[in-house]
Amino acid sequence: MKLLHLTALLVVVQNTKGAHLTTSTTSENDPSIASTYSSSHFSLRRLKRQSNCTPDQYLFEGVKCCNKCRAGTYEKKSCSHTSPSECHPCGEQEYTDSVNRLSECLPCNQCQEGNGQEVEIECRATSNTKCRCMKNYFCKTPEKCDRCFPCKECNTNTEEIVRICTRTNDTVCKAKGKQNYLWLIVLVPILVLVPLLYWKRKSLPCNKKKSFDTKESVAFIGSNSPKPEEPAVPDIDLTEDILQFIAGEIEPRAYHQLGIHLGLGEPKLQQLEADYRDDTKRQGYSILYSWLQSHGKKGAFPKLIEALRRESCAYAADKIMDVLINRKENDVTVLE
């Protein structure tokens, strides 16, 4: 048995040597095989060298990593074994916005005035022109806008504006007088109740909910004293923090009518409401801020309090006065 194993081992060794000799002989006698091995080896070396080049480089003739041209330039002459790439800057109204091997720069886009476009950002050597729609024009495809269209104009005699035109949306109009008569069922009781509520000084429609005080209510009911006069309103500096506080004390549904009373036009209010549709507190602040910009700080606070009281927001006005004027911990500036 041992002799049999030894014999088999010798046969395997002889076959291995024979295969090696056959391969060597074949390689020597057949040049194509040798060439294939040599080519594969060269390709592996070339691939290894190419992998050493950075993304901002390219492999020249399999032996050298050459730099690409940076943004704002183009490759006028490729590199060689002895010299680097020759890059030249882009000319006027030309650009390249990344590293490249372009033989020439790209032409800048031209905003088409005939298509309602105007330049938003001028073309530079490293960036293309950015166009936008002119005023009173809008684009149907904001992501890639090739043409702007004129905004629709509502017929002032028969239509009213539902939404004003922006650079991404057309004007929306509706016919005047189109009403849902079911609203009359709700509107009539409101027209009757609002004067009563104002007269009784109870839950007013634009005020934050007032906490109920039993003692104060009993004292008010049992008293025959005349209604106290409204306190004088000092002129204070309406800072950003104060405007945000005031906006938070007014019910959002009263913002629009308050803006009308303060003198803001309907289109401006509709624009502000559309811009902050999902943030009512920011909407109220924006209305107050827009009004303050046009009015000026001088005399603004007394006018705002007077507008709140006229719009049945007496409790809100009193609350704002109490916090900003009567409480000592609030630091406000009184305008002379």
CATH of the domain at 161: 2.10.50
The reply to whether 169 and 96 lie within a common domain is no
Mean pLDDT in the chain? Answer: 75
Count, residues in the chain? 336
Write the CATH number for 273. 1.10.533.10
Give a yes or no: residue 305 inside a domain: yes
pLDDT at 247: 84
The CATH number given to whatever domain includes residue 99 is 2.10.50.10
Query: Of the residues 52, 84, 107, which one is the last residue of a structural domain?
Result: 107
pLDDT value of residue 316: 82
Q: Do the domain assignments include residue 11?
A: no
Q: What is the three-class DSSP state of 45?
A: helix
Low-confidence stretches of the chain (pLDDT < 70) are 1-51, 178-186, 197-231, 326-336
Nearest to 151 by CA among 162, 141, 138: 138
Give the pLDDT confidence score for residue 224 in this predicted structure.
45
The pLDDT of residue 261 is 82
Q: Is residue 220 part of a domain?
A: no
| Geometric angle at alpha carbon 242, from 237 and 245, rounded to 5° | 160
Long-range contacts of 137-143 (CB under 8 A, 24+ apart): 137/167, 138/165, 138/166, 138/167, 138/168, 138/169, 138/170, 139/167, 139/168, 142/167, 142/168
Same domain, yes or no, for 263 and 249?
Answer: yes
How far apart CA 148 and CA 113 sit, in angstroms, is 9
CA distance 126 to 97: 5
pLDDT of residue 2: 45
**Amino acid identity of 5?**
H
Token pair of 47, please? 């691939």
- Whether residue 305 is found in the same domain as residue 250: yes
* pTM of the predicted protein model: 0.38
Q: Are residues 277 and 317 in the same domain?
A: yes
Do residues 133 and 117 share a domain?
yes
Indicate if 91 and 125 belong to the same structural domain.
no
Say whether both 75 and 150 belong to one domain: no
Provide the residue range defining the domain that includes 75: 64-107
**Structural domain includes residue 117:** yes
Please tell me whether residues 124 and 91 are part of one structural domain.
no
Note whether 98 and 129 are same-domain residues.
Answer: no
* pLDDT at site 328: 47
Q: What is the number of domains present in the chain?
A: 3
CB contact burial 40-54 (16+ within 10 A = b; e otherwise):
eeeeeeeeeeeeebe
Whether 76 maps to a domain, the answer reads yes
- Report whether 133 contacts 117 (CB < 8 A): yes
Q: Does any domain span residue 25?
A: no
Residue 43 lies in a domain: no
d(CA 144, CA 169): 14
Place of tokens 């330039």: 73
Which has the closest alpha carbon to 281: 253, 248, 324, 235? Answer: 248
Domain assignment present for 313:
yes
